Amino acid sequence: MLDLLFKGGWVVDGLGTPAYRADVGVAGGKISAVGDLDGAEAVRTIDCQGLCVSPGWVDIHGHADWSVLEHPIGLNLLIQGCTLTVAGNCGGAPAPVCGRASEMLRRAELRGLGRHEGMYQRVPGAVWDMAAYLDEVERERPGVNYVQLAGHNQLRKCVMGDDPRKAAEHEVEEMARLLEQSLDQGAFGMSSGLVFIPGCWSDTQELIALAKVVARYDGLYASHIRGERETNIQATQEFIDIAEQAGVRGQMSHMQSKYPVYGNNVMKMELLAQARQRGVDVTVDSEAFPDCSATPGSFLQIYHYTPDQLAERLRDPESRSEIKRTMRSVHPWHPLGRFGPGGVPFRRAWDRVIIWDCPHDQSLRGRSVAGVAALRGIDSEDVLFDLALAEGGRGPRFVHDYIEDDHFRTASWEHCIFPSVDTGLYDPAERLSALDLRYWLETRYPGTIGLFPRVLGQFVREEKLMTLEEAVRKMTSLAVQRLGIVDRGVIGPGMWADLVVFDRDTVALRSAVPDPEHIETFYPAGIHYLAVNGQIAMEGHCYTGARAGHVLRKRH
């Protein structure tokens, strides 16, 4: 007796092979049979005539570790067909917490504490390791499958705090010890975030030494590289050098070129292709939206201010002038000038920064910071500071052209995993007030609700950049293969039954910014069913209440 029978659909198996008509039987959480299953008995049969059945889609680059303990269901991923997310990217991870990081936590200085105080209140004695953290995630029963990477920035904080210097040999050895512990406890590899503090202070040799540890564990080294603007070709080469010299599987995060050096993604792809030809195991992932939202705090993240601290500094004329001088004097190639969100204001490109939402004055919505500065007769930096003060250091939200739109054309490269969601988990919209929903939508860029449908609707169906089968391969088997997961990402007997049923003719993102007054705009179109480990989690737009995700721990 089957638990579920998906009957009569077009199977897109995740391997890139042409879609074929078949039934898919599920029992005990796994796929038990694929083929003509006429006569098979099932507790529930789902009619898939005219629909596609594929493996659940995989978010290779996420940040759920900062939200999974507060919002474990992850409805924003479930509604778009995603069944597995990889957390701990860009060098950040919640564990381990020890040494200097424990001291920072006790002083409430650990980066992220202001946003995630509830999570760190769970840390007994300001100390925990990867095993304790994953146990905590498991207790929350997540709605999606969960994979964790160790974070280079967090390892550095444990050993060196945020010290802006090269690591000594004994410090690299201590980071390697903590990394080994995290890998032993289930991490699938290590990420680095080389435009963020403190990772920006590391040198290549430190990263090679740690990547060699990852290689010994057959893990993945994922890197937000050292520069995506003027230095992004050099940074791409550094990533390749690390992977090659360490002998590690390398995943370059965010295939993108940012202002002011749009247009060199093809060159970066050529470097990666040349490396692959000589045996270096490197791939890349890419987002599917060109814009990014940011706050004054993210523009000024080099200062590590909480909103209250930022407001206090901006009220003080001397501190305000000091911040402005720093923003104008830091060379773009300096580590402080390479920050993702910070890169635009550090280059004084305020015409590219648009006010998206400003609760205290909605008349400013849609205007550039440069335009408001001209109207007021003040510097653009002062517009940023004034708006931040008006919102208590917390707002408003800005949107700026984070990456070039043409970078999507390189996503068809065979070894590009597409898309990556690059965000955390956020939960049911119907539980939020209209005001809270609007804030949720406008503070989480559109990828939180519809990247995968956008790929299939726009880039496959409308623009024909790749076939449906190739797109699904990028979203499933290619992603899990990089992680070393062998029992997911493909439709076949013995695989875990993470399955999405969708209409290839209608699947799409309805709106980049849904309307809270019309809840139907919140959900992507064309997704009919979603199963996680053999349990139906979504039926159309209805969340079933299933929390069937597994916390995966890599076994060595």
Whether the predicted pLDDT of 303 surpasses 60: no
Output Rg (C-alpha) for the chain, integer angstroms. Answer: 23
What integer pLDDT is reported at residue 43 of this predicted model?
98
Kind of pairing, strands 353-357 and 499-502? unpaired
What integer pLDDT is reported at residue 386 of this predicted model?
87
**pLDDT (tens digit, 9 = 90+) per residue, 35-89?**
999 999 999 999 999 999 999 999 999 999 878 998 899 998 999 999 999 999 9
Kind of pairing, strands 52-55 and 2-11? parallel
d(CA 41, CA 154): 51
Most confident stretch, 86-100, 174-188, 503-517: 174-188
d(CA 493, CA 456): 26
What integer pLDDT is reported at residue 443 of this predicted model?
45
Residue type, 511: S
**pLDDT (tens digit, 9 = 90+) per residue, 238-265?**
999 999 999 999 999 988 766 556 667 7
What integer pLDDT is reported at residue 383 of this predicted model?
87
Q: State which H helix or E strand residue 291 sits in.
A: strand 291-294
What integer pLDDT is reported at residue 297 of this predicted model?
58
- Which residues are paired to 368 by β-bridges? 354
Most confident stretch, 119-128, 183-192, 262-271, 457-466: 183-192
- Sign of torsion over alpha carbons 393, 397, 403, 404: negative
What integer pLDDT is reported at residue 122 of this predicted model?
72
What integer pLDDT is reported at residue 403 of this predicted model?
56
User: Sorting pLDDT into bands at 50, 70 and 90, what band is 337?
Assistant: very low
User: Sorting pLDDT into bands at 50, 70 and 90, what band is 299?
Assistant: low
What integer pLDDT is reported at residue 96 of this predicted model?
95
Taking CA atoms, 175 is separated from 112, 179, 213, 377, 506, in Å, by 20, 6, 10, 50, 49
User: Sorting pLDDT into bands at 50, 70 and 90, what band is 429?
Assistant: low
What integer pLDDT is reported at residue 364 of this predicted model?
80
Q: State which H helix or E strand residue 371 sits in.
A: helix 369-376
Query: Domain 2-58+443-543, what fold?
Result: Urease, subunit C; domain 1 (2.30.40)
Whether the predicted pLDDT of 283 surpasses 80: yes
Mean pLDDT is lowest, of 20-24, 118-122, 188-192, for 118-122
- Kindly tell me the number of DSSP H helices and DSSP E strands found in the chain: 19, 21
What integer pLDDT is reported at residue 436 of this predicted model?
45
- Compute the average pLDDT of residues 387-401: 66
Q: Which residues contact 144 (CB under 8 A, 6 or more apart)?
A: 64, 74, 77, 78, 82, 83, 84, 85, 425, 532, 549
User: Sorting pLDDT into bands at 50, 70 and 90, what band is 533?
Assistant: very high
Whether the predicted pLDDT of 432 surpasses 60: no
What integer pLDDT is reported at residue 405 of this predicted model?
54
What integer pLDDT is reported at residue 440 of this predicted model?
47
d(CA 242, CA 521): 44
What integer pLDDT is reported at residue 250 of this predicted model?
98
Domains 2-58+443-543 and 90-252+254-290+403-419 share a fold: no
Whether the predicted pLDDT of 338 surpasses 60: no
More confident residue, 336 or 178: 178
**φ/ψ of residue 273, rounded to 5:** -65, -40
| Mean pLDDT (the chain, rounded) | 84
DSSP letter for each residue of 404-458: -GGGGGGGGSTTEE-----S-----GGGS-HHHHHHHHHHS-THHHHHHHHIIII
Peptide bond into 419 cis (omega under 30): yes
Q: Which residues contact 138 (CB under 8 A, 6 or more apart)?
A: 551
What integer pLDDT is reported at residue 174 of this predicted model?
98
**pLDDT (tens digit, 9 = 90+) per residue, 76-129?**
899 999 999 999 999 999 999 998 888 877 765 444 444 455 566 676 666 789
Q: Helix (H, G, I), strand (E, B), or coil: what is residue 182?
A: helix
Whether the predicted pLDDT of 435 surpasses 50: no
User: Sorting pLDDT into bands at 50, 70 and 90, what band is 481?
Assistant: very high
Mean pLDDT is lowest, of 50-54, 206-210, 228-232, 290-294, for 290-294
Q: State which H helix or E strand residue 150 sits in.
A: strand 150-151
Mean pLDDT is lowest, of 241-250, 257-266, 314-323, 453-462, for 257-266
Q: Name the H helices within 217-368.
A: 232-246, 265-277, 296-299, 307-315, 317-329, 343-346
User: Sorting pLDDT into bands at 50, 70 and 90, what band is 388?
Assistant: confident
User: Sorting pLDDT into bands at 50, 70 and 90, what band is 473?
Assistant: very high
Mean pLDDT is lowest, of 79-88, 318-327, 407-416, 427-436, for 427-436
Whether the predicted pLDDT of 396 surpasses 60: no
pLDDT-above-70 percentage for the chain: 78
Q: State which H helix or E strand residue 480 sits in.
A: helix 477-483
- Compute the average pLDDT of residues 414-434: 70
Q: Two tokens at 249?
A: 């599987």
Q: How much helix, strand and coil, in percent to the nearest 5, is found in the chain?
A: 40, 20, 40
Q: Helix (H, G, I), strand (E, B), or coil: what is residue 263?
A: coil
Query: Model pTM?
Result: 0.87
Mean pLDDT is lowest, of 235-249, 357-371, 512-526, for 512-526
| Ranges of each domain in the chain | 2-58+443-543, 90-252+254-290+403-419, 293-401
- Sign of torsion over alpha carbons 524, 526, 528, 532: negative
Residue type, 430: E
- Compute the average pLDDT of residues 414-419: 82
- Homologous superfamily (CATH) for 90-252+254-290+403-419: Metal-dependent hydrolases (3.20.20.140)
